[in-house]
Amino acid sequence: MPISELAVCVAKTKADIAASGLVAPIVGHVGDGNFHVMPLIDFNDPAEVERGYAFIDRLVQRALAHGRTSTGEHGIGQSNRKYMNLEHDRAALGLMRAVKQAIDPDNIMNPGKMLPEP
């Protein structure tokens, strides 16, 4: 994210964490405009799980609104796959599928974990 927008985005995220009632440390390498939020969620508490997923949805929407991505440097992952359609158009996703098909024609590397269904 542009450094000029980083403080605003982090402040909005901190306010969102406080409003959600979650414990969610923010860490990152902010010098390049990148930060991560790690919600600590009790998966035995259905209400907290629901608040956690709702928070992540808002966090991704906030990142996209600031011109950033739903993913980090570690890749897409199963949980962020659902946001790919919000971030990329059909042509870009088609290209990603073509590259995946070219290097993994048998779909044995991370099957179903990177791209949403067409």
Which residues of the chain fall short of a pLDDT of 70?
A: 1-2, 30, 72-77
Encode pLDDT of 13-31 as tens digits.
Answer: 999 999 999 999 998 876 7
pLDDT score at 18:
97
Rounded CA gap, 28 and 20, in Å?
21
pLDDT at 115: 82
Model pLDDT, residue 17? 97
Task: Give the bridge partners for 27, in sequence order.
Answer: 36
**pTM of the entire predicted model:** 0.77
Please tell me the distance from the alpha carbon of residue 41 to that of residue 37, in angstroms, as a whole number: 12
Secondary-structure breakdown of the chain: helix, strand, coil percentages, each rounded to the nearest 5:
55, 10, 35
Q: In sequence order, what DSSP letters do the residues of 17-49 get, joined into one string?
A: HHHHT-B--EEEEGGGTEEEE--B--TT-HHHH
